[in-house]
Structure 1
């Protein structure tokens, strides 16, 4: 089944404005920056938009999104991929990576590199679901391996961020069943219901 189509970039900018999800940019600045991006399909990404602020704006039905309780450091997961030095960019041809279901993040990283695709950042993944909530489906969710947390010793934390749908179990609570969820999985673990978000390029004006 094809992924939902993203609206044109100016419409994406207006949606972020309506949601209060413009990050560090004022609405008029976002409109101006978005208008300068190439006029082709892709995801409008606002740099510096914190996942902790964006996640509660996610919706699936009447359920608001949330960050798992044991990820209080979610905003510290920084890009390990090259990102533009720009206030906004276009993530071209975003994909959920359904064909990589049941791969580990370590395995998927190698596969995506071989395909010439850039791994999605957590903030990109959340902004994608903000634009088209239906991109998040049961058993068809995704990890965002372009964001990792580096420990003080220089090594990466084994947690790898992901966006999926809560089952309402454990600390999530029954009231959060079916809600969009920002959480994590281990770097070397496989999950049959998590693909890997990616794009073909990050483009600036």
Structure 2
């Protein structure tokens, strides 16, 4: 960056404002590219410093009935979200308000689906089976063992998708879930 700043044309293009006509700026940038073989990175013609995450400072809101934090910029934040509270017997209580979206077992691998379920368990959120059903194996007693459901517990939740094709959907599949997503359209 310092080497580019040392080039007189670069400093002129980036540091100077052009009035109503941008023609001079375009010619000078073409000249700079021809001499150096490099182009100038900038956002939509803006030549100043572009903002980044270091420019943000999040300060919590006080005075809403909560005691002030111990430290001015550090405060515990509860991100828990409850879905179905007061409406169902077992509401879904997400520790992290981000859910893993519905991706079909047929379109993804067994390892990927189990990794999503494990991740949901680790962060306390929900994983969605998608329209392809759950990852299943036959247990020693011949019963179906839902691996995704086992991996997502005890901290996460498993949502199942009920789509028009009903691939992999059975009564047992629906009963073993924590929630049912009804798919009635697709944007892909």
Same fold (TM over 0.5): no
Q: Which has the higher strand share?
A: 1
Whose relative contact order is higher, 1 or 2, with alpha carbons under 8 Å and at least 6 apart?
1
TM-score, with structure 2 as normaliser: 0.21
TM-score (norm 1): 0.20
